[in-house]
Amino acid sequence: MYDAIVIGNINIETNIDAVKIPRSDDFEMVNIYERIGGNAIDISVLCSHFGLRTSMVSSIGMDASGVLPILEKSKIDYSHLIVSETKTGKCISINLPGETSTFFFKGANKHLIPYGIEHNYLRSAKLIHICPSNAEILHSIPEKAGDVIISCQFDPTYPMESLSQNLNFLFLNSADALNASGKEDLLEAGKTFLQYGPRNVIINDRGRRAIVIRPEDQYEVVVTTDKAFDATDYEDAFYSGFIYRFVKTLNLKSSLSFGLAFQYFSHKKGNRLLFMDVDDIEDKMYAILRSNNE
């Protein structure tokens, strides 16, 4: 029995800071940072840190020798990890003054398919979280999982019609919600997604608030701080915090509060893999949050 199964991509991430060389068309790299990342492994590591029995489904190439030590250290089950001869997925970000470009290489991630993921394995979990991966996963896994709670991050590269009606929670960030729906208001955007079957649509607005849209009502949890901030880059902290809290309590508002607080603390520390104790988050979160029923 697993508390959570996390399904999604693993990438070798490279972040390059560069500046233009004077009187030249070339650029000089002044800093290079590499890590093994991707939504699936980051969320799995954080869920395991919180004490959840976590299993991960992903696909890597033979060049990703650093993945298994991370999973073993975090005590994450990887019995359904696919190893292929294709190179591991890559994400390369090049930061120039005032401009950032990001390049993706799918690599082994394209071998992440639902056919080898057994019904019994999926149904051994309390919750399954689907990271952006591919349309087959998004369509097939909720059907195979039966009554297991399913949460899913929206992938803007796939049409809304690909969403499964078996989703308990659909997560979006505010930019994707507005762009994909064509709406100018987040509540209206959420209602548009609700028409495609998810029972709860949850929009994360840059880590400042989480808006819940359901057929029967809507409400939001807000971070109350005097300073404006954008914690979009720390959304994996929100998902892992939400998953942990919901598995433990089955309380939606409490889970949103915990996830949003953890995202805020991760942003403040500038750490996408912040290891905070649960008690520490609980002690601090209610001082920075409020809930608005609408």
Domains annotated for the chain, with CATH where assigned, are 2-9+37-85+109-293 (3.40.1190.20)
pLDDT at 255: 97
Q: With bands split at pLDDT 50, 70 and 90, how would you rate the model's confidence at 293? A: low
Q: Is 136 helix (H, G, I), strand (E, B) or coil?
A: helix
pLDDT tens across 41-95, in order? 999 999 999 999 999 999 999 888 889 999 999 999 999 999 999 999 999 999 9
pLDDT range class, residue 174, cuts 50, 70, 90 = very high
Q: How confident is the model at residue 160 (pLDDT cuts 50, 70, 90)?
A: confident
* CA distance linking residue 149 with residue 133, whole number of Å: 18
pTM: 0.93
Contact predicate 77/67, CB 8 Å: no
Residue 163 and residue 193: Cα distance in Å, rounded? 9
Distance of CA 202 to the CA centre of its chain: 13
Lowest mean pLDDT, pick from 99-113, 152-166, 186-200, 217-231:
152-166
Per-residue pLDDT reduced to its tens digit, 179-209: 999 999 999 999 999 998 899 999 999 999 9
Rounded average pLDDT over 130-136:
84
CB–CB of 128/148 below 8 Å? yes
Structure tokens at 139: 């369509």
Q: Residue 151: which residues within 8 A CB-CB, separation 6 or more?
A: 127, 128, 129, 130, 167, 168, 169, 170, 171, 239, 242, 243
Q: Region 219-228: what's the mean pLDDT?
A: 87
Q: Which of 158, 156, 159 is nearest to 172 (CA)?
A: 156
CA distance 44 to 54: 6
Residue 180: its H or E element: helix 174-181
| Band of pLDDT at residue 294, cut at 50, 70 and 90 | very low
- The 3-state secondary structure of 16-76, one letter per residue: EEEEECCCCCCEEEEEEEEEEECHHHHHHHHHHHCCCCEEEECEEECCCCCHHHHHHHCCC
Residue 182, sorted as left (phi over 0), alpha (psi -120 to 50) or beta, turns out to be left
**pLDDT, mean over the chain:** 93
Mean pLDDT of 90-112: 94
* Cα angle 14-20-23, degrees, rounded to a multiple of 5: 155
95 three-class SS: strand
